[in-house]
Amino acid sequence: MTPEFAPASDAALPLWLVWTGDDLPPQAGTWPEASGFAAKAGQICLLPDGRGGLAGAIMGLGDRRHASRDRFQIARAHALPKADWNLAALPEGLDPDQLALGWLLGQYRFTRYKGSPSQGPRLVCPEGVDGDRMVAIAAAEFLTRDLINTPASDLGPDKLEAAARALANSLGARVEVISGAALLKQNFPLIHTVGRAAATDPRLIDIRLGESGPMLTIVGKGVCFDTGGLNLKPGASMGLMKKDMGGAATALGLLKMLAGTGAARGLRLRVLIPAVENSVSGNAFRPGDVLSSRKGLSVEVNNTDAEGRLVLADAMTYAAEESPDLMISLATLTGAARVALGPDLPPFYCDDDATATALQRAGMQVADPVWRMPFWDPYEPLIEPAIADLDNAPSGGMAGSITAALFLRRFAEGAGRYAHFDIYGWQPTAAPGRPKGGVGQGARAILAALPQILT
């Protein structure tokens, strides 16, 4: 589906947003009080015009002291009757860009298997907001959500490749794909090893856009389904593993976002997606195996369910060989990140203070929060086993997100700067502008920070 604003028109009905305790618009008269309107978050009071029609509406924002609890308050206004609406006034402290984006994100519905996109209320783009930019950002987020929400039966590595090709073609980007036995011939042993047990060949998708300027390389984990391999996940843990390609989905959404907003101009963009299924069969890799990597480092497998860092390692090594100015990895990587920060706040890791500060500050400004965690060098020995260079799953379970990030950093050598995002990619309970299901994390923070990071 496509996000959209209503065209500006005198026929659009006025919509007032009010905090609890604020004065109501004089046009409303005594009707809100008579209707029991208390400006609770999401509470709507429709204003009659005296002729059986609508004169406008008021929507409550709740207690101003709790404003930070609600990211996209305006998305609740999608409960309004089908009509075109225009914000009559902006309460103090609300960012018009975030209001506009929140409205657009509230339009999202995943209807591939049930229902159809329906025309609900529409909002005229608020004055002073770049509507085309907001639509481009929302459309990119819709792509990410659609990809994550699609089950592996319809989005295996081959279908993820098709989606990447479709996006690249729409942007005029170049695509190369290495798959199956060619991965071994071209020295991507970890990607091949993780994906070889599946019915669909593993592959490395390589997209390039732009010819000059600073180079930004984005590596997205594309594990289209994760059984856990021979260290089989319990059924309850496996149920959401269609989302284990959330890093790839977010990377593709970010590419679409950069191109759609014009931020890609003056950059050399590269997106690398190792696309695999971590399946079980007679040739699946085993706990205790020692694997070779493109970088030449050996890796002892202590858990086949820690496969994401393996496929990322080869892709990141390949990316670093070109010495990008900035390399970013996006991955639904560890449960430890969720234990530390929950589903809504993804950690990121970056050794460059200026880059990290820009990312965290930008994330808060655009309602795409991220939180810096440390590449903690004293934990390096935890990923160094006795019989190989690296351990893919250190025992003990402590600092799991940090040790995973340290593992990946070993393969980022050669990049000018490196940042890793350990995202969840899933909204476990519905919230305004974010229905239950797949969700992008970190992309808007990266988009907003790029002018400070890459010039």
**Where residue 38 sits, what CATH number does that domain have?**
3.40.220.10
Stretch 117-124: mean pLDDT: 89
**Helices then strands, each counted (H, E), the chain:** 13, 19
pLDDT in tens, 341-353: 999 999 999 999 9
Query: Is residue 126 in some structural domain?
Result: no
From residue 84, how far is each of 125, 130, 191 by CA, in Å?
11, 19, 50
Residues 79 and 183 in one domain: no
Q: Rounded mean pLDDT of the chain? A: 96
Residue 455 has pLDDT above 80, yes or no: no
Residue 433, classified by CB atoms within 10 Å of its CB into exposed (0-12), middle (13-18) or buried (19+), is buried
Q: State residue 70's pLDDT score.
A: 87
**Where residue 253 sits, what CATH number does that domain have?**
3.40.630.10
Q: Which domain holds residue 56?
A: 13-94
Query: Is residue 338 in some structural domain?
Result: yes
Name residue, tokens 């700067």. 417
Stretch 83-91: mean pLDDT: 92
Q: State residue 58's pLDDT score.
A: 97
- Closest alpha carbon to 85 in 59, 60, 116: 59
Residues in the chain, total: 455
Residues 145 and 65 in one domain: no
Residues 86 and 169 in one domain: no
What is the token pair recorded at 440?
A: 């992008």
Out of 42, 62, 94, a domain closes at 94
Residues 82 and 207 in one domain: no
Residue 118 has pLDDT above 80, yes or no: no
Residue 167 has pLDDT above 90, yes or no: yes
Domain count, the chain: 2
Residues 6+ apart with CB under 8 A from 281: 197, 198
Residues 257 and 174 in one domain: yes
Q: Is 347 helix (H, G, I), strand (E, B) or coil?
A: strand
Q: Which residues are catalytic?
A: 233, 309
Q: State residue 261's pLDDT score.
A: 98
Q: State residue 90's pLDDT score.
A: 85
pLDDT in tens, 274-305: 999 999 999 999 999 999 999 999 999 999 99
Q: State residue 93's pLDDT score.
A: 81
Residues 52 and 167 in one domain: no
Q: State residue 295's pLDDT score.
A: 98
Query: Is residue 374 in some structural domain?
Result: yes
Q: How far apart are CA 449 and CA 443, in angstroms?
A: 10
Residues 190 and 326 in one domain: yes
Query: Is residue 388 in some structural domain?
Result: yes
Query: Is residue 102 in some structural domain?
Result: no
pLDDT in tens, 356-378: 999 999 999 999 999 999 999 99
Query: Is residue 54 in some structural domain?
Result: yes
pLDDT in tens, 382-408: 999 999 999 999 988 899 999 999 999
Stretch 183-208: mean pLDDT: 98
Contact 91, 61 (CB under 8 A): yes
